[in-house]
Chain A
Amino acid sequence: GNSVTQMEGPVTLSEEAFLTINCTYTATGYPSLFWYVQYPGEGLQLLLKATKADDKGSNKGFEATYRKETTSFHLEKGSVQVSDSAVYFCALSDQRGSQGNLIFGKGTKLSVKP
């Protein structure tokens, strides 16, 4: 079945460091791909998405490119801030007839130190 695999955390970085969080997926068909972020004590928020191969999603300095050849959707940011500390979830749309159904990875916790 469809699945998402994320790098395990936690990831600890200093402010202004470069961030990469790896995400790979297994899916039939052509799913859309998403990154959601969960700040402490809150629900998840959509960070960015890409709907087809080679699309790049971007928001708040974060980017991810839909790579069909490597089945990956890695999240990157050039210079992280303390306020980016959160848990990041990679997800894909499950297109087995259940529209709107998302399959989430287990999440990667990011801590940014000043």
Chain B
Amino acid sequence: DAGVIQSPRHEVTEMGQEVTLRCKPISGHDYLFWYRQTMMRGLELLIYFNNNVPIDDSGMPEDRFSAKMPNASFSTLKIQPSEPRDSAVYFCASSPEAAPETQYFGPGTRLLVL
């Protein structure tokens, strides 16, 4: 089975531009998580969904960040407008209903905002 798929793998953009990160979770998984990883702050949970419904978005840094999950096989994380401090690796992870803490991570999107 395919694992969690993220696209793009790398993104370079200029400050002020809109950035959209995409994630396809493992089929059958009911939980989807978005994380951000930086050297300074480590791994931070941004938001997570259960059955396509956002459950906890307290980690979303500010209104410039938004996430959607229109169906069970697709989610997006959007940053508008982007800023240099948003530069990080963004991970998507999914997990099954029976073991929500056993998370399967995608390879990540490395974002650089100039």
Which residues does A use to contact B, with CB under 8 Å?
Answer: 32, 34, 41-46, 49, 89, 93, 98-102, 104-107
Contact = CB atoms under 8 A, between A and B. Distances in A.
A38 to B, nearest CB: 8
B102 A43 contact: no
Interface size class of B (residues with CB under 8 A): 20 to 34
Nearest to A38: B105
A34 B100 CA distance: 13
Contact of A49 (B4, B102, B108): B102
B4 A34 contact: no
27 contacts: A32-B101, A42-B105, A42-B107, A42-B108, A43-B91, A43-B93, A44-B105, A45-B104, A45-B105, A46-B102, A46-B103, A49-B101, A49-B102, A93-B101, A98-B55, A98-B56, A100-B31, A100-B33, A100-B48, A100-B50, A100-B101, A101-B56, A102-B101, A104-B42, A105-B42, A107-B42, A107-B43
B95 interface: yes
Given A41-B107, A98-B55, A34 B42 contact: no
